[in-house]
Amino acid sequence: MLTIGTLSKKTGTKVQTIRYYEQIGLMPEPGRTEGGQRRYDNAQLDRLSFIRHSRQLGFSLDAIRELLDLSDHPNHPCDEADAIARRQLKQVEQRMARLKALRTELKRMVHECSGGRTGDCKVLEVLRDHSECLTEHEEIGA
Amino acid sequence: MLTIGTLSKKTGTKVQTIRYYEQIGLMPEPGRTEGGQRRYDNAQLDRLSFIRHSRQLGFSLDAIRELLDLSDHPNHPCDEADAIARRQLKQVEQRMARLKALRTELKRMVHECSGGRTGDCKVLEVLRDHSECLTEHEEIGA
DNA sequence: ATACATCCTCTAGCCGCTAGAGGTTCAAGC
DNA sequence: GCTTGAACCTCTAGCGGCTAGAGGATGTAT
């Protein structure tokens, strides 16, 4: 039986985060001592490791919820898990493409700044005037 | 004089967002009509365009605050603006590197899934067992 | 018995918006 | 001048995914 602190160390998850996962129903309610402290078993350790690892690969908590459900039913066809992973891959690729365009623009800004006064700083000028940009970069975030 | 709706259309910023920027002090309080509606001038249009464009390049609102301050003082040396842009460039590059590693891992997962039952789905297996991964990918988010 | 690390709950905050309720103002058409 | 209705107003709450802190209870080693 593991305390929440031990589970925290073993999985690299903050104690608060574990309680948060329980609150939103991603982790099951664990057993408790007479005094009311949480005690975890190995199944729960595995589950939390799964969650953490999925988070590191960028899956949303909602996607993880689905993946966990699938993982709990070993006889279902696995197309769905595959689809979720493909979706995630696609998202990652989109984000990469976006960042690549940003990098180009930022590099250009920085290169052209010759270290004078802010009045004729290329960085600020570009920010002021979008028409100096090579690419459109409409959507914010993503 | 522009209404908030017109400003919204011209800059591609939602009305609510403009009010939010005012609330956090990123946009100045505009003039008002007798009835209390906001009216903007061209200086404010420029400022909002600057903010939006910076957001599109991924700058945080705090960074934008600094950039706007610098932009307001044309006689200062522009090292600082340059530094902010370089910082942003660095962040973008770090995020790209991270995403690249994730993409590799996700691709591998997806390729190895042969479409059977969830019980022996490679996707779920990898998520269950980090040791199957080629790279460490410790930090979440970023 | 005592110390003190760890645990508990609860509330609020982070970023950058976004949505909705419920009410007021403006401008155009008649 | 009056009516309509789109656009405005304020205020509050919510999103994702945590994180921090207050204030108090428990567990374990000595």
* pLDDT one-digit tens code per residue, B63-76: 999 999 999 998 88
Distances (CA, A) of A46 to A7, A64, A122, B63: 10, 14, 52, 40
Nearest CA in chain A to B57: A102
Under the banding of pLDDT at 50, 70 and 90, the label for residue B141 is: low
- Please state the pTM of the whole predicted model: 0.89
Under the banding of pLDDT at 50, 70 and 90, the label for residue B129 is: confident
Distance from residue B34 (CA) to nucleotide D1 (C1'), in Å?
21
Nearest CA in chain B to A136: B56
Q: Is the CB of B50 under 7 A from strand C?
A: no
Please name the helix (run of DSSP H) or strand (run of DSSP E) that holds residue B38, with its range, or none.
strand B38-39
Q: Is the CB of B23 under 7 A from strand C?
A: no
Distance from residue A110 (CA) to nucleotide D18 (C1'), in Å?
34
The token duo for A120 is 């004729």
Using CB atoms, which residue from A52, A77, A117 is nearest to B76? A117
Distance CA A138, CA A89 (A): 22
Distance CA A67, CA B79 (A): 48
The token duo for B44 is 């404010």
- The protein residue nearest nucleotide C20, judged by CA to C1', is B16
